[in-house]
Chain A
Amino acid sequence: MKLLISTVPWTDTESPIMAPALLKSMCVQKGIPTVAIDINQAVIKFVKENFESNEERQLQEFFYNTSRNVNIGNASKTINYIVDKILEHNATHVALSLLTYTSQVACEWICFQIRRKAPEIKIIIGGAGVFNTLNSKTNFGEKLLKQKQIDYYIKGDGDVSLPDLILEDAKSIGVNQTEWKQVDDLNGLPFPDYADYDWSLYKNKSVGVVGSRGCVRHCTFCDIHEHWKKFQWRTGEDIFRELIWHNKNSGIRSFKFQDSLINGNIIEFRKLMKLLATHNDTNPDNQLNWSSFFIFRPQRQMSEGDWIDISKSATVLTVGIEAINETVRFHMGKKFTNMDMHYCLDMCKKYKIKVHMLLIVGYVIDTEETNKEAIQWFYENKHYIDDPITSVSFGGTLGILPGTEIYRRQKELGLELKDEQFDHVWTIAKTNNTPKVRLRWHNEQTEACTKSGFTVTSMTDNHLLMEKMMG
């Protein structure tokens, strides 16, 4: 028996994806010979080296969204490269981890080719990407299972389900069904094992760490609670032990938290920051640093002393501000005022902590007025340019996901949905909140942001989405 765990393209990242390393450590602990690789990064390199830039873009679009504008030979060559890389490990079981829906196209054809070339291999797929889909009306795992292209799909915590499945080869909760059970306690689990990763592939050699699962907030547009019913966290001490373990074993000093929010549990977060601050003060030649999603909190919850501790190890905080207008932000479920936001930005500026700002354009209660306010904000807050706000990212316009608060409240909000799955073309007639209007708001805010001097970053899948909406 030998298990190979791999990521699946396409995820735009310069860092290693953590899931295979984490799952490997759980499987090895249970005595399963396991190799964990990050094929996503290897493919990004392969495509860069083997195709012209326009072909590279076409391939990326194909893997994101089955774009028709791709050369079949190029797509086939890339899929075969991936499959050959997987098969060279002579595994009896292959587990494919889909980070998001953008892994589905590659996954479908990787499974097909593995079935053809090595039909004896058991194929397992898992990860959020099996369920979170942009176009598909059906459960992707169920589709491939019916087509006999896979043997199993796993929902939820693969930490437990995957090794159990490999050892017992039997169905358990979370396997080939949408019901699953969260891991009871995140503390004391084995640390991710990155030993098989090819570190030469990464520009950003940071290691992924999970400090918590789930979220303390209940943002109206987010469906995280559909996946993680309860918020679970590790103690500051347990996380710190892991960071030191990676540092001692591989010399890694940069860490990327995969949490929804690193500071969801403020008490444990504070403990971790103090441990890191002490470590960095006493080890000036071996300082550890991290980046993470982060939530802004009022001053009464995060004092200047907290910010000083944070500044000892934080590099970039990715903050879901989501709306410049305070009323809109509170409607979303973000519990910080404009005063809180400016307090946090001022603290970040004072203590040299970089902020990557996330914004959603076209929320359900947005209006022409709130759009104007957002545009104005960029011109009035140029003093935050690069310090601390190094980049601003507009996540397309708001898409309505099933399982979210706004989806449940669609009647009350006057929402007319056009697509039950992940609707970007919804309308609220009474406030003239239409796809066309939201696209204009998006363009106006992006333009204002750029013109005022902020750096705007964007993701390819958002571009594709916007193109679709315009089409």
Chain B
Amino acid sequence: MTKINLIVEAGECNGLMKLDISDSTNTILSTPNLKSGVNDIEVEVKTPCVLLLHVSGKNPNRDTLVDPATHKVVQDKYLKILDVYIDNKPLDRNKVQQMFVLESESKGKINTSYWGFNGIVSFELLHKDSLELHLANIL
């Protein structure tokens, strides 16, 4: 089994988003109790596999506050991936930012580590061994 730690920042606006992590057979591996701020979510998986991160609980009409004067977002309900650890070693942070594609309910596919829409994020772990997962990340 391979230990995966997802370091996720949760932004609060009328509550928090919900996250369910499953494998590709839709077996739920974790439904973490998220808190506002940084969360360390740990799952153990048999690789190779695809992790599906179900992101929900966002009402776009209500859960993003915009300053009408500047049109800037001042508060948002979101999840953001900061780091990914495989067997206690972090992946390259710059690459982590580019690894996730959110299949959103309303906006289609978005290549982002900032999840401000409901949808499903796929995270492919294509090698059996965690050393090879790391090597695939750096090569």
Contact = CB atoms under 8 A, between A and B. Distances in A.
Given A147-B90, A148-B88, A149-B89, A116 B130 contact: yes
A66 B138 contact: yes
Contacts of B89: 112, 115, 147, 149
A112 B139 contact: no
A148 to B, nearest CB: 7
A358 B83 CA distance: 45
Given A109-B134, A112-B131, A72 B139 contact: yes
Contacts of A148: 88
B109 to A, nearest CB: 26
- Interface size class of chain B, counting residues whose CB lies under 8 Å from the partner chain: 10 to 19
Nearest to A79: B131
A66 B139 contact: yes
Interface string A35-72: 00000000000000000000000000000001010101
Nearest to A116: B87
A113 interface: yes
A33 B2 CA distance: 34
A149 B87 CA distance: 11
Nearest to B139: A68
Interface of A is mostly: helix
Interface string A92-127: 000000000000000001001101100000000000
Given A147-B90, A148-B88, A76 B135 contact: yes
B135 A72 contact: yes
A72 B130 contact: no
Contacts of A79: 131
Contact of B131 (A66, A80, A149): A80
B46 to A, nearest CB: 15
Nearest to A62: B139
A66 B90 CA distance: 17
A73 B136 CA distance: 10
A112 B139 CA distance: 17
Contact of B127 (A70, A72, A115): A72
A73, A79, A116: residue with the most chain B Cβ atoms closer than 10 Å? A116
Contacts of A73: 132
Given A72-B127, A147-B90, A112 B134 contact: yes
B136 to A, nearest CB: 6
Nearest to A80: B131
B129 interface: yes
A128 B48 CA distance: 38
A175 B53 CA distance: 42
Given A72-B127, A76-B129, A115 B88 contact: yes
A112 B131 CA distance: 8
B132 A76 contact: yes
Contacts of A75: 135
Given A147-B89, A147-B90, A149-B89, A113 B139 contact: no
A113 B134 CA distance: 11
Nearest to A67: B139
A112 B138 CA distance: 14
Contacts of B136: 72
Nearest to B85: A147
Interface string A126-159: 0000000000000000000001110000000000
A254 B79 CA distance: 64
Contacts of B132: 72-73, 76
A125 to B, nearest CB: 15
A72 B134 CA distance: 10
Contacts of B134: 109, 112
B138 A76 contact: no
Given A116-B87, A147-B90, A70 B130 contact: no
Contacts of A149: 89
A66 B135 CA distance: 9
A113 B90 contact: no
A413 B90 CA distance: 41
Interface string B85-103: 0011110000000000000
Interface string A430-449: 00000000000000000000
B2 to A, nearest CB: 10
Interface string B105-139: 00000000000000000000001011110111011
Contacts of B88: 115, 147-148
Contacts of B90: 147
Interface in A73-88: 73, 75-76, 79-80
A109 B131 contact: yes
A72 B90 CA distance: 18
B139 to A, nearest CB: 5
A148 B88 CA distance: 8
6 contacts: A72-B132, A76-B129, A76-B135, A109-B134, A115-B88, A149-B89
Interface of A: 66, 68, 70, 72-73, 75-76, 79-80, 109, 112-113, 115-116, 147-149
Closest 7 CB pairs of A and B: A72-B135, A68-B139, A76-B132, A76-B131, A72-B132, A112-B89, A116-B87
